[in-house]
Structure formats: structure tokens, C-alpha cells
Amino acid sequence: MKIPAIDQGTCNLCAGCLEVCPEVFSFNKNLGFIEIKDMMIYPEDKIDEAIALCPEDSISWEDE
Ligand code: SF4
């Protein structure tokens, strides 16, 4: 299964992915970074949209 991943080193916390796909991406206030929720099935279309919109190219698909 492929799962989305965020490169924390390049993410600028613009919150774009949170607006596009809040069911998958969330801001961890305690740790100060964007995290990806554990899901059985990820909504590919919306994550692809977030990938396309991310200004830092920080989101990618990874094989689990
Ligand atoms: S859209 Fe990209 S840069 Fe912006 S918060 Fe999400 S992962 Fe980080």
C-alpha cells in the first residue's frame, strides 16, 4: 500500500495541505509540524491535489 509522507525538513508550515485535505493532514500543535493521520485507505485524488499545491514539494507517496 502506498502512503503519503511529508519531508519535515522542507515543509514551511503554510497549511495548504490542511485546507485541501484536512481528513489526512493535521497540525500537531505540541510538536509543531504537520502530521499524517493513520488511515486504512487514503483519498488519492485529494492527496495528489495537496502534492500539486505544496509550495515546497514536501509531500510524496511512499510504499509501505
Ligand atoms: S502544503 Fe507543503 S509546505 Fe505547506 S504545510 Fe503542507 S506539507 Fe508543509
Q: Give the model's pLDDT for residue 1.
A: 84
What pTM was estimated for this model as a whole?
0.94
Which residues have C-beta within 8 Å of that of residue 43, sequence separation ≥ 6?
A: 21, 23, 24
Residue from 54, 57, 61 whose mutation best tests the ligand 1 pocket (most atoms within 8 A of CB): 54
Domains in the chain, CATH or no CATH each: 2-63 (3.30.70.20)
Cα 59 to averaged position of ligand 1 atoms, centre (Å) = 7
CA distance 33 to 47: 18
Nearest atom in ligand 1 to the alpha carbon of residue 50 is 1
Q: Give residue-wise pLDDT tens across range 24-43.
A: 999 999 999 999 999 999 99
Q: Give residue-wise pLDDT tens across range 50-60.
A: 999 999 999 99
Which of 59 and 64 is assigned the larger pLDDT? 59
Q: Tell me which DSSP letter residue 40 carries.
A: S
Q: Give the model's pLDDT for residue 64.
A: 79
Nearest CA owner, ligand 1 atom 8: 11
Residue at grid coordinates 488519492: 44
